[in-house]
Amino acid sequence: MLSPQRFAEAYAQAGQSHFDCFLGDKVPLTVTFQDGPSVPVQLRTLDLDRITMVAVVWKGTVNLDLHAFEYAAKLSDENHVWAGAPSSRWQAEERKRHDGRGHGFVSYASDGSSEGDQIEVYTFVHEPNQNSGAVTLALDYESRSSHPGDQDTCGTGLYADLEYKAFVWHQDGKVSRSRGAFAPSECNRPVGEIARYNSKALPQLFFTR
């Protein structure tokens, strides 16, 4: 639950209008204040027909990172979008105007340091005049990769076989859902940089005219 002050801060940081409506605009949104009432919020969406969104949701005090490799980008290229280089809606629009291709950005609600639901969302802003393109999406179990000795994330630990859900909002208003889980790994076994990124965990995005 959010206090009124924290909600106001978060709302202001979001530009007073930005929500990741990866389930569309028909799902009711309610904000619950700490020691206070629950307030329904009326959403008015403006551009759901111009974007594709991919959301990853999981539970627990661990961190997953959603990576988008736009147009065959390599690690740390300009078109590699992730929490460490999330871009923004405005940057995506500027890049779209510059090269005539759609681009995206990542937003997230947590870094996995707190209990409860965690979420990361990749939003791709389409360029209607673009002939074709592809975005490879990958999922990194960042907590396990960064701390291979963490007993909770490996062996038979609490989060060793972490489950996650994926939601995709398509331009036509349809929402597809899937779920998956990370296989347990041995503790104290480092994971190579390339092997960290599981491209089979999420659907890939292909754009054609």
- Name beta bridge partners: 122: 54, 106
Q: What is the mean pLDDT of residues 2-28?
A: 45
Indicate the SS3 state at residue 68: strand
| Sign of the four-CA dihedral 109, 115, 37, 21 | positive
What is the model's pLDDT at position 191?
Answer: 75
First CA to last CA distance, the chain: 44
Tell whether 78 and 113 lie within a shared domain. Answer: yes
Tell whether 63 and 111 lie within a shared domain. Answer: yes
Q: What is the mean pLDDT of residues 103-126?
A: 88
- Write out the residue range of the structural domain in which residue 93 sits: 47-208
Tell whether 73 and 5 lie within a shared domain. Answer: no
Q: What is the DSSP string of 155-172?
A: TT-TTTT-EEEEEEE-TT
25 is written with which tokens? 């605009």
Q: What is the DSSP string of 129-154?
A: T--EEEEEEEEE-HHHHH-TT-TTSS
Residue pair 52/204 in contact by the 8 Å Cβ criterion: no
What is the model's pLDDT at position 19?
Answer: 52
Tell whether 121 and 160 lie within a shared domain. Answer: yes
Kindly tell me the burial class for residue 32, based on how many C-beta atoms sit within 10 Å of its own C-beta (0-12, 13-18, 19 or more): exposed
The H-or-E segment that residue 98 falls in is helix 89-99
207 pLDDT band, cuts 50/70/90, is confident
Tell whether 157 and 127 lie within a shared domain. Answer: yes
Of all residues in the chain, the percent with pLDDT exceeding 70 is 77
Task: Note if the pTM is more than 0.95.
Answer: no
Tell whether 32 and 93 lie within a shared domain. Answer: no
Tell whether 108 and 192 lie within a shared domain. Answer: yes
Tell whether 35 and 134 lie within a shared domain. Answer: no
Tell whether 147 and 172 lie within a shared domain. Answer: yes
Spatial separation of the C-alpha atoms in residues 49 and 123, rounded to whole Å:
12
DSSP 8-state code for residue 9: H
Tell whether 51 and 41 lie within a shared domain. Answer: no
Q: Between β-strands 38-41 and 51-59, what pairing exists: parallel, antiparallel or unpaired?
A: unpaired
Residue pair 60/84 in contact by the 8 Å Cβ criterion: no
Q: What is the mean pLDDT of residues 157-173?
A: 92
Spatial separation of the C-alpha atoms in residues 165 and 180, rounded to whole Å:
6
